[in-house]
Amino acid sequence: MSAISVTHLGKSFGGVRAVDDLSFTVERGTLTAFIGPNGAGKTTTLRMILGLVTPTEGGAAIGGGPYRDLERPVSTVGAVLEATAFHPGLSARTHLEALRLAAGLEPGRVEHVLEQVDLTASAGRKVGGFSLGMRQRLALASALLGDPEILILDEPANGLDPEGMRWLRGFLRAYTHQGRTVLVSTHVLAEIQQIADHAIVLRAGRLAWQGPLSPETDLEELYMEVTA
């Protein structure tokens, strides 16, 4: 069974066709790059997979069924979508602790995910004073709380400095080496090319290309060709 499957998925917002007859699967243990120009429909697709947007046509399954039917959603899939909002007055640790309690997870999880994203030293500081990169790490820590099998990330490299990008690459690679699955949208093709083993390319809401990536693939060239 695929980790994620999307079948004839479509979404219209009024007259805007955001996603159009889109089908693909993401296999377990793979790192799949989800790419395409601004407005191609990536975020809308990820939101439909996560049950946050209702499709106009078709459907999406995660771990074999729709998101809303998952028995243990936080342990199945963790997600970081665009523009995650945090309460500015809370510390990173307090923020994670609130999420942990709401999800009924063990107490040790907060310190564990803080360490996973290398945020332990700043965990007591108010999130309002966090840099963009620190917010990205905190959002990732939130997604990791339930120790999920599948990670869905919408432009996680946004705002990361070169060291942060390298760190994220290593993190995601290690994550899939444990047999877990990552679906990640990004515009930083040179970065994702180093770690992704599959790519799904959208163009104007439709599938432009999907397939495996090899070290010889020039992702930028492929992207330019199929989105032209």
Ligand X SMILES: Nc1ncnc2c1ncn2[C@@H]1O[C@H](COP(=O)(O)OP(=O)(O)OP(=O)(O)O)[C@@H](O)[C@H]1O
Helix axes 162-177, 132-144, angle to 10 degrees: 10
Find which of Mg ion, ligand X, none residue 44 binds, CB within 5 to 8 Å per kind. ligand X
DSSP annotation of 122 reads G
Q: How far apart are CA 27 and CA 171, in angstroms?
A: 19
Token pair in block for residue 77: 């899939």
Q: How far is the CB of 13 from ligand X (least distance, A)?
A: 3
Told to check if 18 binds ligand X by CB under 6 A, we report yes
Instruction: Report in angstroms the alpha-carbon separations of 52 from 79, 85, 107, 159.
Output: 11, 16, 28, 25
Told to check if 30 binds ligand X by CB under 6 A, we report no
Instruction: Report in angstroms the alpha-carbon separations of 200 from 5, 25, 33, 57, 206.
Output: 12, 9, 6, 20, 10
Find which of Mg ion, ligand X, none residue 36 binds, CB within 5 to 8 Å per kind. ligand X
Residue with tokens 């946050």: 52
CB 206 within 8 A of CB 21: yes
| Closer Cβ to ligand X, 91 or 158, answer by number | 158
Q: How far apart are CA 50 and CA 127, in angstroms?
A: 26
| Closer Cβ to Mg ion, 81 or 226, answer by number | 81
Interface residue with Mg ion, options 30, 32, 43, 136 (CB under 5 A): 43
Binding mask 33-72 for ligand X (x = CB under 6 A): ---x-xxxxxxx----------------------------
Which residues contact residue 168 at a Cβ distance below 8 angstroms, ignoring those fewer than 6 apart?
A: 156, 157, 160
Find which of Mg ion, ligand X, none residue 41 binds, CB within 5 to 8 Å per kind. ligand X
Helix axes 109-116, 92-103, angle to 10 degrees: 130
| Closer Cβ to ligand X, 3 or 18, answer by number | 18
- Stretch near Mg ion under the rule CB under 5 A, chosen from 34-42, 88-96, 157-165, 172-180: 34-42
Binding mask 162-201 for Mg ion (x = CB under 5 A): ----------------------------------------
Q: Could you tell me how many residues make up the chain?
A: 228
- Stretch near ligand X under the rule CB under 6 A, chosen from 11-19, 109-117, 123-131, 217-225: 11-19
| Closer Cβ to Mg ion, 5 or 43, answer by number | 43
Catalog residues that contact ligand X under the rule CB under 6 A: 13, 16, 18, 36, 38-44
